[in-house]
Structure 1
Amino acid sequence: MRPRLGSPLAWIYLAAMFTFILLPVITLVVFSFQDGRLPVPPFKGATLDWYAKVLSDRAMMEALGNSLLVAALSAFVSLLLGFLAASGLARVLLPGSVLMRGLLIAPMTVSYLIIALGLLQMFNQIGLRPSLLATGIGHVVINLPLCFAIIYAAIGAHQRNALRAARDLGAAEWQVLLYVAAPMLAPSLAAAYFLAFTFSWDEFIIAFLLTRFDVTLPVEIWSMLRSGLSPETNAVGSLVFLVSVLIVVTLELSIFRKARK
């Protein structure tokens, strides 16, 4: 028999699932307040000194700013290119459209390490040195397929008919995209942008290989971990988790709730 939601088995399953997902995060956050040198049991008391130390660390704050800059710009470029590609391939049936879609989505199936190594070699050939610009380009490469897939999946027959009607009424191509397609696809566009932002914000391998002096936050955290665990690294991780949660909550309250209404 299929268990009902109110049955003990269903509640035990839900509790186990959320414990498995959230226990590492809860442990990270709790021991970021550890009044001691090591973030391990037993818990010796609460303090905000580690957060104060992180927020007063100039290198950490510069890395945080670099991560925000790279994530915001690379997510925007990925969204723009993905939106244009999805709109074009959904509107017109071209020879090889299936192949084009496959090529656009292909980077999602490739290891970030392979992508980073390929970009590093290509940038060396063209003279682009490791930098935030190179990292941003790398993040566009990995986030463009995601944005394209989300937006393309959201374009149904209704959207195609509306775009076709706008063109028949004399709207220019940029007007169709800006005033018709973008508002209709607003929830999908927002989801694509925030997911791309989050992936870029957390990405390490590409940022590690394609930066040198101006590093992103994950690379700075890795540098801290080389000297061992401390409540300071937990505090940084908690702040990163807080930013991710704020993004999800903002997306839920501002976009998805309106879409459901």
Structure 2
Amino acid sequence: MRALPWLYLAAAFVFIYLPVGALVLFSFQGGALPVPPFDGPSLRWYGEILADRDLTSALGHSLAVAFGSSAVAVTLGFLAAYGLARHVLPGATLVRGLLIAPLTVSYLIVGLGLLIVLTRLGAPLSLMTAGIGHVVINLPLAFAIVYASMGAQQQNAERAARDLGASEAKVILLVTVPMLAPALAAAFFLSVTLSWDEFIIAFLLTRFDVTLPVEIWSMLRSGLSPRLNAIGSLVFLVSVTVVLILELLVFRKRP
């Protein structure tokens, strides 16, 4: 009976990681089809995707949108959390609910709504509009993480700084932000991860300059290829790297 929990845990990990393992394995396939039998290992497909200008351009677009939108979302989320946590405002409960509400809305609905608004405004679809969409979906997450981390300890330190003559701007920059650095970093990296592989909003709000998920989708229309496995493996590597950075720099327990 003691082995049953371990068997269940092993089965769960196999269920979760077996598709990823197959993806990575057949990204080293030497043949033209990503199916058994395995013919490799070979770095042929990694070389091809790194030499593909469309893919490398889409990769750069994804990184720019992910980091840019995440920085804006975390900044706005922090300012909203600070205002609602440190000041008594009329309708604060309603405002918090409205800030969290987009978490419950489908990305498809958000993307279609933004597409309608931008079309009515005459704004051309571009990476900028995709970034706006990613700010909309990441702002509630950033707000929730930062707001949950703003406790009495930070508030007492802020009061002490004000008593010593610090201005409000210095209190925020020199006291509040450093004390909330782990929460801000967690919100930023999670936003980057979500934006990095988001497809629906990026597909609806871009036209000529597309992100990597949209480029992958266009490649899928012509059938399966080991190139797709190689791209997927690189995306997985980036996601794992972000998680490891979070674990080492943010969530690691300090002695």
Indicate whether the TM-score tops 0.5. Answer: yes
TM superposition score normalised by structure 1: 0.95
Alpha-carbon distance between aligned partners in 2 of 1:49 and 1:115, rounded to the nearest angstrom: 39
Report 1:106-145 matches (<5 A): 106-145=101-140
Aligned residues: 255
Alpha-carbon distance between aligned partners in 2 of 1:106 and 1:196, rounded to the nearest angstrom: 17
Q: Partner of 2:226 in structure 1?
A: 231
Alpha-carbon distance between aligned partners in 2 of 1:99 and 1:165, rounded to the nearest angstrom: 30
Deviation at 1:128, TM superposition (A): 1.0
Letter in 1 for 2:57: E
Alpha-carbon distance between aligned partners in 2 of 1:223 and 1:250, rounded to the nearest angstrom: 31
Deviation at 1:162, TM superposition (A): 1.8
Q: Partner of 1:260 in structure 2?
A: 254
Letter in 2 for 1:158: Q
Q: Partner of 2:61 in structure 1?
A: 66
Alpha-carbon distance between aligned partners in 2 of 1:78 and 1:114, rounded to the nearest angstrom: 19
Of stretches 158-167 and 7-16 in structure 1, the one that deviates more from structure 2 is 158-167
Alpha-carbon distance between aligned partners in 2 of 1:166 and 1:125, rounded to the nearest angstrom: 48
Q: Which consecutive unaligned segments of at least 5 residues does structure 1 have?
A: none
Letter in 1 for 2:200: I
Q: Partner of 2:246 in structure 1?
A: 251
Deviations 1:192-225 (A, max 9, x none): 0000001110100000000000000000000100
Report 1:16-165 matches (<5 A): 16-165=11-160
TM superposition score normalised by structure 2: 0.97
Of stretches 187-196 and 162-171 in structure 1, the one that deviates more from structure 2 is 162-171
Letter in 2 for 1:260: R
Pair 1:187 & 2:179 matched: no
Letter in 2 for 1:206: I
Q: 1:173 aligns with which of 168, 173, 178?
A: 168
Aligned-CA RMSD value:
1.2
Alpha-carbon distance between aligned partners in 1 of 2:241 and 2:112, rounded to the nearest angstrom: 33
Alpha-carbon distance between aligned partners in 1 of 2:236 and 2:193, rounded to the nearest angstrom: 10
Letter in 1 for 2:228: T
Letter in 2 for 1:8: A
Of stretches 191-200 and 28-37 in structure 1, the one that deviates more from structure 2 is 28-37
Alpha-carbon distance between aligned partners in 2 of 1:24 and 1:260, rounded to the nearest angstrom: 35
Deviation at 1:10, TM superposition (A): 1.8
Deviations 1:10-67 (A, max 9, x none): 2111101111111111111001111112111221221110000000000000000000
Q: Quote the sequence identity (%).
A: 67
